[in-house]
Amino acid sequence: MASMTKTLGLAIAASILAACGGGGNSSSTDTVTPPVRAAGMLSQADSADTLEQAVKRGLKNAFDINNTPLALDVERGAPLNAVELASSDADAGGFTSTYTLEAGVGEADILKYDGNVMYTLRRADSSDDEIPFGRISVQLSQIDPDTAGAEPLSSILLDGDLGVEGMYLPEPGQLVVLQSSGFYGTCGLSWFVPSYWQNQRTRVSLYDTTNPTEPQLQSTIELDGAYTASRQVNGLLYLVSRYTPYVPDMPPHYTASNAELSDAQSRIDEVALQDLLPKVRRDGQLDELLAPTDCYIPTNSELTPDSASITTISVIPFNAPESMRSRCYTGEAYGMYMSTQALYLTAQRYEYDETSSADFSIIHKFDLEGNSVAYRGSTEIPGTLGHGEQLDFRLSEYNGLLRVITSEYDYSGGGPITPFSDDSVDAGADSIDHRITILRESETAVALDTVATLPNESRPAEIGKPDERLYGVRFFAERAYMVTFEQIDPLYVIDLSNPEDPRIAGELEVPGVADFLHPVSEQLLLTLGRDVELVNNDGNEFALMQGLKLELFDVADISNPRSISRISLGDRGSWSDALHTRHAFTFQANYLGDNSNARFAIPADLYQDGDAGDNPLIWNQQWQSSGLHLFEIDSPQSTSATLVSVGQLLTETVDSGQRTGNGFGRRSVFHDDAVYYYSGNSLWSSFWSDPSALQALH
């Protein structure tokens, strides 16, 4: 029994290490053939008794590690992408709003702007006389783009018992705030522990801000379960939460003895179903969130073991929140990708033994049907979607097809990883392999069928050189752009125009690495990443990340991508929130009219190298400045476009004293010539035509 527990612990550690960017080696593991999964991995519960037994089996599994299958659910994230040119929620009227990845799919953020009133989150500090220290409020400000001014109008003090996940502006005069008790960190170390999801809450607060000087709370909806993800489509909020039933006096699952396990299982059997399902409180009134037949359970619990967690999809009309409807399934979700037609939830399964290891990504599809969702099928494909808050870059729905990018890691050092079931064809015996899978709804079953994969037997070339990790990813219509990296940055252009025969159309090696990719047009691709210096230390060559790098690529000829312009910022240690938080990137095309320049901005902390002597490994960089950096793309309609640095809104410099930190994060908004920059609790502004005219607003 001890050896089994050790194996499980190693599996968990290896999976988490890979998720957080560590792990991987130059050896390889035995070929893992994906298991055959039942069509329709989920089935609608036909009765209360059916759902009750599934939930109770999942709870018993969670508290008995000795009987836990080796195929652990260790899930890490979810995903999204652009079919049209990616932009903001609203670029009309000369102003920008939250950067989104799908046209028509809104995303929650810490700053919202409707062209008139700006909403920002503010955490009270020790100098605040009106709000208790540490409490969070929403600041409403009247914006005057002519003067780049902002006048405080009012503030909304939020309940202090929950953290804030973000805000929505469904329409002018309407504000929605999401709060949750859950926090699991960037690497998600708590996601695989079922007990973590007990006693968690998610709150949706809807405000009438028609009179922004006196905002009024209209309705509050509080669900059992922790916030997982949300999106806004056609006046509806799609909210995903995760819940584990709480049974009093249960032993910790990792220390329970045989007698304790027997008592725990008996205690679970005695609990009524209504006490195992999440509830909802509408304006303080307790109600049932779900009927038993609103839920789905695994079709075959031997292939997909019952889970202690319940994932709920709630659809809330912004203008009629009392009409919300919910669906659930017994199982985990670690994020969401959403188009205007469907919602996809992802999970991960991990297999490990002494000779082989493998990750598998589970994908569930739900169609949008009025104020509800309908289950359309599932699949499981080899590889992981990775970790972090931008996993949605790895999924994209286009013309009814779902395109997915996964990565397969070698954890144990056995034989080679291969994406093929035939051992005679191998994509490479390195520690990481990347795969594109194209899926469509089955015409004969409740399932997602595989249309094609890349690499494959006829196109065996790998995406990425040996041991290269996948950094920036972006789908755009019938293309995918992928950046892998270990010591140099290969940019791959994938042709998806024939879904049954995807292919690597072009490849370009450039110094550095790109984390964030933005398609400017069909001809131009903008990337944000970091420069890299190759260092030889005692005969071992490796790459050291340096300063920030913006680069513009001509991708008009899909077979011959070219770097046509680049700008570097700062030295080693320099950082931008936009590397890993898409909402920190602001972009606006044609801001002076048709065929004019495009403009964009990124927040950045810039560092400068000190004297390292003869040892380049010494970390001696010194912080120099923090602020918002402004850029234009000159002649974006041509393949001779160039990047131009317009200026900076430097809110903190080495000469100004101690840094104050970034608080909730950093965002920017353009409205005509005015530029607004939110950092921490502070709002700053200037003009695009004169960035040096910086003013602190409040």
- Rounded mean pLDDT of 468-474? 90
Query: pLDDT at position 428, please?
Result: 44
DSSP string covering 117-163, please?
EEEEEEE--TT-SSS-TT-EEEEEEEEETTTTEEEEEEEEEPPTTSE
What average pLDDT does this structure show over 375-381? Answer: 94
Tokens of 145: 């783009």
What is the rounded distance in angstroms from the CA atom of residue 43 to the CA atom of residue 54? Answer: 11
Over residues 587-616, the pLDDT tens digits come to 999 888 888 899 999 999 999 987 766 666
> Other CB atoms closer than 10 Å to residue 620's CB: what's the count?
14
Question: Mean pLDDT for the chain?
Answer: 83
Which residue did the predictor score with more confidence, 127 or 421?
Answer: 127
Q: Where are the beta strands (DSSP E) in 225-293?
A: 226-233, 236-243, 279-282, 285-288
Question: Which tokens is 478 given?
Answer: 């019938």
Flag whether pLDDT at 380 surpasses 70: yes
In the predicted structure, residue 421 carries a pLDDT above the cut 70: no
What values do phi and psi take at 456, rounded to 5? -150, -175
**Residue 237's pLDDT is what?**
98
The bridge status of strand 325-330 relative to strand 295-298 is: parallel
pLDDT at 627 over 80: yes
The verdict on whether omega for the bond into residue 455 sits within 30 degrees of 0, i.e. cis, is yes
CB 379, CB 364: distance < 8 Å: no
Counting other chains too, the contacts that 659-664 makes at CB distance below 8 Å and 24 or more residues apart are 659/623, 659/626, 662/577, 662/603, 662/626, 663/123, 664/110, 664/121, 664/123, 664/164
> Which structure tokens are listed for 371?
């104020």
Residue 95 DSSP code? B
Residue 71 has pLDDT above 50, yes or no: no
Provide CB contacts within 8 A for 593, sequence distance 6+. Answer: none
Angle, vertex CA 686, rays to CA 682 and CA 690, nearest 5: 155
Cα distances from 444 to residues 284, 404, 517, 611, in angstroms, run: 45, 22, 37, 67
Instruction: Say whether pLDDT at 70 is over 70.
Output: no
Give the start-end residues of each E strand in 511-612. Answer: 513-519, 524-537, 540-554, 562-569, 586-588, 598-608
Beta strand 666-671 pairing with 642-653: unpaired
Structure tokens that stand for 183 in this block: 């926090």
The dihedrals phi and psi of 693, each to the nearest 5 degrees, come to: -80, 60
Candidates 418, 449, 447; CA nearest to 435 is 418
46: pLDDT strictly greater than 90 = yes
| pLDDT on residue 185 | 47
Provide the pLDDT for residue 11: 35
Helix H, strand E, coil C: the string for 450-484 is EEEEECCCCCCCCCCCCCCEEEEEEEECCEEEEEE
Percentage of the chain beyond pLDDT 90 is 58
Predicted TM-score (pTM) of the model is 0.88
Residue 445 is given by DSSP the state S
Q: Cβ(228)–Cβ(183) under 8 Å?
A: no
Q: Which residues of 454-487 are buried (b: 16+ CB within 10 A; e: fewer)?
A: bbbeeeeebbbbebbbbbbbbbbbbbbbbbbbbe
Q: Distance between CA atoms of 619 and 313, rounded to whole angstroms?
A: 47
- How many other C-beta atoms can be found within 10 angstroms of the C-beta atom of residue 441? 17
* Residue 250: predicted pLDDT: 72
Interior CA angle at 437 toward 435 and 442, to 5°?
160
| Residue 191, Ramachandran bin (φ over 0: left; ψ between -120 and 50: alpha; else beta) | alpha
Structure tokens that stand for 166 in this block: 């973000």
Q: Exposed, middle or buried, 129 (CB in 10 Å: 0-12/13-18/19+)?
A: exposed
Measured distance CA(279)–CA(274) in Å, rounded: 9
Q: Is the dihedral of CA 550, 554, 560, 562 positive or negative?
A: negative
CA-only gyration radius of the chain, Å: 25
Residue 31: band (very low, low, confident or very high) from pLDDT cuts 50, 70, 90: very low
CB 563 within 8 A of CB 87: no
Q: How confident is the model at residue 422 (pLDDT cuts 50, 70, 90)?
A: very low
Tokens of residue 301, six digits: 């619990």
Rounded Cα distance between 691 and 695, Å, is 10
How many beta carbons lie within 10 A of that of residue 17, not counting itself?
15
Q: What are the tens digits of pLDDT across the range 289-335? A: 999 999 999 998 776 778 888 999 999 999 999 999 999 999 988 87
**Helices and strands (DSSP H and E) totals, the chain:** 3, 41
Residue 501 has pLDDT above 60, yes or no: yes
Least confident of 24-33, 59-68, 592-601, 625-634: 24-33
Q: Does the pLDDT at position 24 exceed 50?
A: no
Q: Do the beta carbons of residue 618 and residue 632 sit within 8 Å? A: no
Tokens of 601: 């901005």
pLDDT confidence band for 14 (50 / 70 / 90) = very low
**How far are the Cα atoms of 534, 540, 611, 612, 623 from residue 615, in angstroms, in the given order?**
13, 14, 9, 6, 20
pLDDT for 663 beyond 80: no
| pLDDT above 50 for 416 | no
What is the per-residue pLDDT across 125-181, written as a single tens digit (0 to 9) for each? 756 667 777 789 999 999 999 999 999 999 999 988 899 999 999 999 999 999 998
Structure confidence by residue, pLDDT tens digits, 250-273:
766 545 566 777 787 888 889 999
Q: Express each pLDDT in 191-229 by its tens digit.
A: 566 666 788 999 999 999 999 999 999 999 999 999 989
Tell me how far apart the alpha carbons of residues 76 and 671 are, in angstroms, rounded to a whole number: 37
Does 93 score more than 60 pLDDT?
A: no
**What pLDDT was estimated at residue 263?**
80
